[in-house]
Structure 1
């Protein structure tokens, strides 16, 4: 995809020209976001299915897998995804600038950084039991989850190799191959999870084997595709260039990790805080149901996050500032409309959807009470992650990281605690305060995006590509 393709459309005048331009850009975005959404759902389902089968074995097994998957692996997943997201900026801008061979070099640099990061994060898996006990988890669950965490160490290293490959392919809009691989692995994962965990009765050992193998199978199949096809010239073999400029690369990777982790963990904190309420079972159950729905809805947003990151980075790399800005307008309108539809669905079914998850009238009633906040969250899910995708595509990770700290953890979180505990609004107050933080962050990102000098951003993208090896001659 040569980022300049949309430029002639943008030069047209009149309503027909705008609609034609909007339709062309919308089609381009859906081509990227559709497979991305499908891929995220398939990979999200690997852990969910493992939890489901573990729950058929026993309550302790379910707790062990759930805690490891959401706390230990969730912590590492957020860090790895964030570190790997630096490639969205660099690969996207290099691709847009026509410096195709640098994509493979950038991917190798990211592998080096993420594999070293894995070694640094290894103690979290090795000492998961005492860590969980320290944060208040019961001794029995901490021990079981700790044993399972040690078995899941291979998954962490799969993350380290997988995320750079995905960003490498994503920057070239090669998302269908990831979607087909994820679907194939999910089908195998479903069968072998049943076979090993339930049929053979291997329990947690079977769960660890299937989850580790599934993630490494995704990695291996993607690597086979890259090495065999050469990814249209983006892969030219291993290179010593991968060890150049690692310091600057680490800085951008850390900024990406901090930015995404602060977002990734923000609503997870909601469940932890709610657990400190008096009689917390009902509010925690209700919030868990709402977070489950919000999580599935977020897969749509992540797909558009990937799409706009690719479009902005490609266009800025190609020097098409106006096309990048127009792409932001199109994706913002699209995701706001999707958010409005999802919000309407939540409000229309607020008296019914809780019973899909619970038989308890008390939990269902509390969930219905929280449905307005869920509807607002779903609406914000439409725009806020997309604006973060714009930030990644343009290379603004450091700026957004500071914004996230201020809006989420200095404003939203304390406000939620104040409303929930001091003013006794309980779960409604906690969630309401945290939504306030998301609203503030969204407004600030809208201001930054709308007032940014996009011509200057295009020039900075060109400088970034040249600085980190973009002057390498393509063959």
Structure 2
């Protein structure tokens, strides 16, 4: 009895110790979860403040060319083909190069802003202008000699000549690109994305109005299309510049400086790496349409893939917004020395973007029997598009994460590494696999696209692994060294 009572007392004593421990442990776990969700919510709000206006800006600017193409289509078939080919091939080439080279500023301006070296942002922007305006001059012959270039890739003489003439008229847009992309990266780094959104929205409304007036009412045709599109792009540049010059951008702009011509070689190297990295991505799916045009009976497959690429283009604007947002977050936090915050930002934006990608994929698959008829009245084209919808859905899902990881790379300054990864995954593996499946195994458009999706999958997996095993403390130290080398010093609190 005595021993039993002792056991009972001991059991009660143990129970009285264990219960508080269990409660304490559960409480700690709960607090940890609450802390994670609170941090996730806070970081998500920061990302959406950047991504929301960036997505809106991208859609507005993408719509400028799309609207011009629509109005040109109301004039005639040749006019539609001329604007479409110039937009997608000639201007598309220039857009990719300029966007890529301008993206060097995402690394430099973002890290300098995070480090508190605000005064250097204006100098960086001017250096980028020097490099991009020089690049624009180098690209002028591509516009001037575009008819033979277009004939080489398979366009008819009539379309090549019409698109070539339109390309010469669109030379002012090339130089607007050279000015615009450095300005955008300059503003993005300071999180002034609403400025770009407002300017782009106002210009889009004016563009729609004047396109209708000049192209249709005044019957100026392709000349009117060129005038309105050039004017709209330069209005975006002027509107943003006025904001910078008037407000001084909180000290980031202190006027023109001869420092813009200093250390240009270091800028050129980073700009070229950025250009190669983004151009290899930007042109990859554009090549899909060109290769499909080489099939035995290409008309229906080309039309079907063009519809899919149109939808993918709109969806890509969402990914482009997250690309800009995470690039700003990573570069700012690394510049400030906040390695853990940069790593957490990558986690939050990856979860958010993939969630949106899953929803978009579900919408594509659910409407695959219906959405083709928004673009065509041909039953054959619609049927082929429906067959390709599964591949479109997979591409949409992959494109929800892949551009985000590219944004991380730009924010951290990994452009050279990612350029090599893109060459290997896209052009050594993906593209040959697509050609073999499409032509050798006779799977047609589905085979070409499937092979190229394989390249995107491999690239995404490699970038996930690289990001997963990144030493963010080391990246913060490298950001500090970069800022010191090109503009001052900073101490890291994290």
- The TM-score bracket by the shorter chain reads over 0.9
- 1:30-60: CA deviations, max 9, x gaps? 0000000000000000011001111111111
Distance between the aligned counterparts of 2:265 and 2:216, measured in 1?
48
- The residue correspondences of 1:378-417 to structure 2 (distance < 5 A) are 378-417=396-435
Compute the displacement of 1:409 (Å): 0.2
Match of 2:148 in 1: 130
Match of 2:263 in 1: 245
- The residue correspondences of 1:313-328 to structure 2 (distance < 5 A) are 313-328=331-346
Distance between the aligned counterparts of 1:159 and 1:397, measured in 2?
21
Match of 2:450 in 1: 432
Match of 1:255 in 2: 273
TM-score (normalised: structure 1): 0.96
- 1:444-470: CA deviations, max 9, x gaps? 000000001000000000000111123
Match of 2:387 in 1: 369
The count of residues paired between Structure 1 and Structure 2 equals 461
SS at match of 2:307: helix
Match of 1:454 in 2: 472
Distance between the aligned counterparts of 1:139 and 1:367, measured in 2?
28
Instruction: Pick from 94, 112, 120 the counterpart of residue 102 of structure 1.
Output: 120
Match of 1:342 in 2: 360
Distance between the aligned counterparts of 1:122 and 1:403, measured in 2?
30
Distance between the aligned counterparts of 2:126 and 2:320, measured in 1?
24
Instruction: Pick from 161, 170, 173 the counterpart of residue 152 of structure 1.
Output: 170
- 1:359-380: CA deviations, max 9, x gaps? 1111111111111111100100
Distance between the aligned counterparts of 1:133 and 1:310, measured in 2?
41
Instruction: Pick from 42, 65, 77 the counterpart of residue 59 of structure 1.
Output: 77
TM superposition outliers: structure 1 runs of 4+ over 6 Å:
none
Distance between the aligned counterparts of 2:95 and 2:357, measured in 1?
26
Structure 2, unpaired ranges of 5+: 1-29
Compute the displacement of 1:136 (Å): 2.3
TM-score (normalised: structure 2): 0.92
- The residue correspondences of 1:266-305 to structure 2 (distance < 5 A) are 266-305=284-323
Aligned CA distance change for structure 1 residues 327 and 377 (closer, same or farther; 3 Å): same
Match of 1:215 in 2: 233
- Kept in 1, the 8 Å contact 2:102–2:271? The answer is yes
Distance between the aligned counterparts of 1:119 and 1:353, measured in 2?
41
Match of 1:39 in 2: 57
Distance between the aligned counterparts of 2:151 and 2:32, measured in 1?
64
SS at match of 1:470: coil
Q: Does 1:206 find its partner at 2:212?
A: no
Deviates more, 1:405-414 or 1:125-134: 125-134
Distance between the aligned counterparts of 2:171 and 2:400, measured in 1?
34
SS at match of 1:173: coil
Q: Does 1:352 find its partner at 2:370?
A: yes
- Kept in 1, the 8 Å contact 2:125–2:183? The answer is yes
Distance between the aligned counterparts of 2:368 and 2:231, measured in 1?
39
Distance between the aligned counterparts of 1:196 and 1:471, measured in 2?
53
Match of 1:139 in 2: 157
SS at match of 1:277: coil
What's the RMSD between the two structures over aligned residues?
A: 1.0
Q: Does 1:74 find its partner at 2:98?
A: no
Instruction: Pick from 463, 472, 482 the counterpart of residue 445 of structure 1.
Output: 463
Compute the displacement of 1:471 (Å): 4.7
Distance between the aligned counterparts of 2:366 and 2:165, measured in 1?
44
Distance between the aligned counterparts of 1:425 and 1:209, measured in 2?
43
Compute the displacement of 1:181 (Å): 0.4
Deviates more, 1:278-287 or 1:32-41: 278-287
Distance between the aligned counterparts of 1:111 and 1:296, measured in 2?
28
Compute the displacement of 1:135 (Å): 2.3
Aligned CA distance change for structure 1 residues 198 and 103 (closer, same or farther; 3 Å): same
